[in-house]
Amino acid sequence: MSASPFDTAPAEKVSHVRPLWGLARKVAPRHTALVVIDMQNDFVAEGGLMHREGWDVSASQEMAARLPVLIAAARKAGVLIIFVRNVYTTDGNFYLSEVWLEQMARARKRPVGAVAAPVFESGGFCGADSWGGEFYGEVRPEHGDPVVTKHRYNGFHNTDLDTILRAHGIRTVVFSGVSTHCCVESTAREAFMRDYYVVPVKDGTAAYSPEDHESALRTLDRLFGEVSSIDVLSAIWTACRTNPIDHP
């Protein structure tokens, strides 16, 4: 194990469990999950709701073309892969409260009716059985991958994500998907609050503007986790297949 660039002694002295120093130890496959968030047509595809609403989805599509490399490296190394999807609307509108409709209308400076109309037309917004709610392109679960359904930004909120992670002995969560400053950041912050190591993937996440993407990554790296990249993580996981990393 290489020397840490900072003094680890104080943390070692007070910690009940020895910390995982260094990225390679953090993302050792046997205690790491790759969580793929909201890679659905309504968030990424042309013709999806975000695109129809005028958002720039090009960065999300470019990221989606890169993400299969990370997923393949994780899968070959034995990393647990979890897909998180959003379901916002149903025929009975179980999930979109007046609070959410007011927020969308206010933030977009549009009447509530104008916001609600596209949400409830043509399958709604990430409807459970709609094209918009389907996984985008090649970024989709394989047989046996857990799929967690959420109805709010935070992937832990009223879901079984934490149960799945704890059942598999997960200590570190690597985050990918969209959007960096919203659902990814909300879920990553909550993961840190629940005492998971957090590793957001800078080129495996995307937002609808470069400013939002970079700002979220700066916040996450400073306060909640260690930002990494597809190349770095893939190299670590590829090496682990022949030289497993010991950890406390």
Give the residue extent of every domain in the chain.
26-86+132-240, 89-124
CATH code that applies to domain 26-86+132-240: 3.40.50.850
Q: pTM of the full predicted structure?
A: 0.91
Bridge partners for 197 per DSSP: 172
**Whether residue 58 has a cis bond before it, omega within 30° of 0:** no
Average pLDDT on 89-117 reads 75
**Positions marked catalytic:** 38, 150, 183
Bridge partners for 177 per DSSP: 37, 205
On the CB side of 234, CA atoms within 13 Å amount to 13
pLDDT digits (tens, 9 = 90+) for 159-172: 999 999 999 999 99
Confidence of residue 101 (pLDDT cuts 50, 70, 90): confident
Residue 16, helix vs strand vs coil:
coil
189 token code pair? 């912050």
